[in-house]
Structure 1
Amino acid sequence: MGWIGPGIAAEPVPYTQSEIQTIATLREKAFIASQSGDYEEAERFWTQLLEYLPNEAAIWSNRGLVRVSQYHLDDAISDYTQAIALAPEEVDPYLNRGAAYEVKGDWDAAIADYNRVLALDPDEAGALNNRGNAEAGLGDWEAAIADYQKAADVDPNFALARVNYGLALYEVGDSSKAIQVLRSVVRKYPNFADARAALTAGLWATEKRGEAESQWVAVSGLDKRYQDMDWVRTIRRWPPSLADDLEQFLTLGG
């Protein structure tokens, strides 16, 4: 997900010079507030912009983003739906709406939106990765593995997709290949806490206790959230088996 600049719009409507300046100022304030994390203020600015530019899909999509950030999921989905109605060939509103459906746990609706993205752009790595997340939510790990692998192959720098591929392999019992994948990510991205935390759990479960503890030292210095199993399970949404093994490590070794 990312902020969308102007450009997805219907035919322009004439404005006075004063209104043009107001629109430019509101747009600047909306982007600044959005990017600084002041989402309530950003929503106010995007809403004011819509009074001037109700047919600009990017504004609806951007307001959806700040509404998701405030966990106003139904309102965000409504905004994305309006953006899609105005610009049905643009991928971002589908991708963003799919992500909002994921947060709600509506896996089928999320997959439907990612399918629309992939119909428009079959190599959209973000949609492939996210569809894998939704498939994992449904427990369809084989489908998730295929999508994660393709996402990582399409975009070799998409480290999260590669990690997700490793996590899904672990869930289906291929711990050896999963650990191999996670090691490769850690070698390339040594500060990627998620990969190191997953590697910690996998190594601990496969009796490589010293190496697991070494990985965990790095994780502890990078991201404290992996000590919170509720966050790991419900927000990061690790597969159950790997989350169980991390919890075992934290209980017995961490």
Structure 2
Amino acid sequence: MVRYNTPLTHPTHQRIGFPQQCWLAFFTTVLVALVCFGLGTIGSAIAAPEPTQLSDRALAQQAQRHQSQGDFNQAEADWNGLLNRYPDNPALWSNRGNIRVSLGEFEKAIADYDHAIALAPQEPDPYLNRGAAYEAQGQWHQAIADYNQVLELDPNDAAAYNNRGNAQMGLENWLAAIADYQAAIDHKPDFAIARSNLALALFEQGDVAQSLTQLRRLTRKYPVFADSRAALTAVLWSQGQSGEAESNWVAVQGLDPRYQDMQWVAQIRRWPPKMVTALEQFLAME
């Protein structure tokens, strides 16, 4: 998860802010929902802003709004403004790093996470977010090292298990990935993307029956979750169940048309090879 950790474009989570503090909320599962971290305490000894200057909370809310609207350049400018006021606040460095990941500026993002870690080495979020940035560059071993550090600090962190599973998939360590996804689910049973990732890894490992069972359960529980429906389409087609595959695909097209783009599926969503091939074969026969 960069912790924000919910299915977006990618199964990795990013986290915004540190849960121990408590400001505003940011986050998503996979780049992720919003977590609470605090401005309430950092400005107590600071003079009030000039009348033309946004308050700390208003600027943070503006940054979140720009981010949710996809205006990452303006969101970066907002975080810059807060960092000018509070250069020793590690959450701000980590959050600007998240924006830079969204902009594809991975080295700059990693530098921001490095700064956050130097300021708050016992906080798990910057390690998780830096791991996601490494993962985005295919630096699997560095990503795993950061996720391991998160789990040393918080052994119950479901996002770290999910993300480490993603990195293990990048290394084609399918059994290790399966173990990590299962651990993520054990710690957070409603973690939908981890369940979908588990099904993908099981299919890659050759356990088609268990993969199909997982995907059926997931689609039944979350009927508008496009990732599980697209994967279910591919598995059903590979098993000769064309009618059910086609009915699921109709739903996928209405939910998220990106699954028709095999480059996106393979390189951004990062499905493993066998599932990519199964979906390609289905699309070729449509």
Same fold per superposition (TM over 0.5)? yes
Q: Who is 1:17 aligned against?
A: 48
Q: TM-score, length-normalised on structure 1?
A: 0.94
Amino acid at match of 1:207: G
Q: Who is 1:115 aligned against?
A: 148
Name the CA shift for 1:13/1:115 in 2 (closer, same or farther; >3 Å). same
Q: Find the aligned partners of 1:250 and 1:16 in 2 and give their Cα distance.
A: 61
Q: Which moved more, 1:47-56 or 1:101-110?
A: 47-56
Q: Find the aligned partners of 2:105 and 2:251 in 1 and give their Cα distance.
A: 35
Identity %: 54
Amino acid at match of 2:175: E
Q: Find the aligned partners of 2:48 and 2:67 in 1 and give their Cα distance.
A: 26
Q: Who is 1:64 aligned against?
A: 97
Say if 1:166 and 1:179, in contact at 8 Å, map to a contact too.
yes
Looking at secondary structure, tell me which structure has more helix per residue.
1
Name the CA shift for 1:19/1:96 in 2 (closer, same or farther; >3 Å). farther
Q: Who is 1:42 aligned against?
A: 75
The offset of 1:68, in angstroms, is: 0.8
SS of residue in 2 equivalent to 1:17:
coil
Unaligned runs of 5+ in 2: 5-15, 18-22, 24-36
The offset of 1:19, in angstroms, is: 5.9
Q: Who is 1:180 aligned against?
A: 213
Picking from 237, 243, 246, the partner of 1:213 is 246
RMSD of equivalent CA atoms: 2.0
The offset of 1:51, in angstroms, is: 1.7
Amino acid at match of 1:186: T
SS of residue in 2 equivalent to 1:18:
coil
Q: Who is 2:181 aligned against?
A: 148
Within 5 Å, which residues of 2 pair with 1:1-254?
1-2=3-4, 3-4=16-17, 5=23, 6-7=37-38, 14-18=45-49, 22-24=54-56, 25-252=58-285, 254=286
For residues 70-124 of structure 1, the C-alpha deviation after alignment (integer angstroms, 9 at most, x for no partner) is 1111001100110011111111111111111111110011100100100111111
Q: Find the aligned partners of 1:103 and 1:181 in 2 and give their Cα distance.
A: 27
The offset of 1:17, in angstroms, is: 2.5
Amino acid at match of 1:160: I
The offset of 1:163, in angstroms, is: 0.8
The offset of 1:11, in angstroms, is: 8.2
Aligned length: 253
The offset of 1:35, in angstroms, is: 2.9
Q: Who is 2:9 aligned against?
A: none
Unaligned runs of 5+ in 1: none
Q: Find the aligned partners of 2:87 and 2:253 in 1 and give their Cα distance.
A: 47
Larger radius of gyration: 1
The offset of 1:210, in angstroms, is: 1.3
For residues 161-186 of structure 1, the C-alpha deviation after alignment (integer angstroms, 9 at most, x for no partner) is 01111110000111111101111101
Q: TM-score, length-normalised on structure 2?
A: 0.83
Amino acid at match of 1:216: W
For residues 132-152 of structure 1, the C-alpha deviation after alignment (integer angstroms, 9 at most, x for no partner) is 000000010000000001111
Amino acid at match of 2:240: E
